[in-house]
Amino acid sequence: MKHVSKLLGAAGTAALLSLVANPAYAAGTAAGTTITNTATVNFQVSGVTQTAASAANAIIVDAKIVLTATETGATTTVAPGQTGAVTTFQVTNSSNEVIDIGLAAAAQATGATTAHSGTDSVTATTFTYWVNTNGSATCSYSAANATQVTWLDEVPVGTTECLYVQANIPSTASNAQVAGINLTATAEQGGTSGSQGSVLTQSGSGVAWTPGTMQTVFADAAGNGGDANYDGKFTALADYTVSAPVLSVNKNSLVVSDPIEGSSNPKAIPGATLQYCIVVANASSAGTSATNISISDILPTTVTYKASSVVLNAVVSGSGNAATCGSGTAGNDTVNYSSSTGTVTGTLATLAPGASEGLSFQATIN
């Protein structure tokens, strides 16, 4: 291995790595260093000092490979269908040699225990890897100051680097589901900037030391994602927790009046006026508010829409099939009703967890 300080290789891009200012680990003497010392023997013959004899010895320091990876912070909160959701890792080269570090992220198996003691129940996909390009020494992701990489190139001895793993969350994910991932960092040959080195192999347990040759020794511990001691790899876990609304929708009807009884005990006979109440509720257990709520209701040919009857953001009394709509914001038939399609439409305000709102309108039975 050559000892060269280099820039990060990134799919044809040379971008500066963001290096976290951590104290140097006890990497020891650099691999490939020649340690030479000389012993001198002085002696006399019959009291006369003779020419000293000496002997020299030289050894080459072997490569001790140690790397670790850890997730930083808590679980990453995501929305269903979110793309490029970021988790942050710190990857450290504690070896006595500059190395490349290969990167491989994967989804945990369904049912596996995730990084923050959750249970994997949804699968993250499409992993990509990013690093800072603005020289920041803190692990704080910014899309404007990040560049995509496929491996970490020429990682200096005793250096910790910020790595951001992005993934996509399925649109089918629901509130409180957890997507676990594992990131495996693999020690690879350093020496050529911008060119990913081959995976390192160690000289072998029990293999005799060879003087004058730099050998490779794995000294890494097992990670928390399934790799083993002394395998030149380290696996770290992270997870995404889905935060989403938990919406329920009910559509209820009430007979307001009929041609016979008026508003006193009216019945649903032809000519009667109905009030429809569409209630949208966000459960108190929801992880976040629902926004941009849009309602569309196509009326059957058996009823006729009553002009100027749409009420938006109606106050809801009761719940479920017993819910009724009260006062709210008057709609506008130009916006909220299409006579050509017989469709009532409207939007509701943001629904926080535990809140409910209604859209109501009236129609006459034909």
pLDDT in tens, 203-232: 866 788 888 889 999 999 999 878 899 999
Residues 194 and 226 in one domain: yes
pLDDT in tens, 320-348: 888 999 999 999 999 999 999 999 999 99
pLDDT in tens, 177-209: 999 999 999 999 999 999 999 999 988 667 888
Q: Residue holding tokens 């006890």? A: 26
Number of domains in the chain: 2
Residues 104 and 181 in one domain: yes
What number is the average pLDDT over the span 60-70?
94
pTM equals 0.81
Structural domain boundaries enclosing 304:
247-365
Q: Which of 242, 275, 305 is the last residue of a domain?
A: 242
Query: Structure tokens of 108?
Result: 């945990």
Residues 234 and 345 in one domain: no
What is the DSSP code string of 286-352?
A: -SS-B-SEEEEEEPPTTEEEPTT--EEEEPEES-GGG-EE---EE--HHHHEETTTTEEEEEE--B-
Is residue 131 assigned to a domain? Answer: yes
Is residue 54 assigned to a domain? Answer: no
Q: Which of 190, 210, 242 is the last residue of a domain?
A: 242
Is residue 265 assigned to a domain? Answer: yes
Residues 296 and 325 in one domain: yes
Query: Structure tokens of 224?
Result: 């928390």
Q: Which of 211, 242, 273 is the last residue of a domain?
A: 242
Residues 128 and 182 in one domain: yes
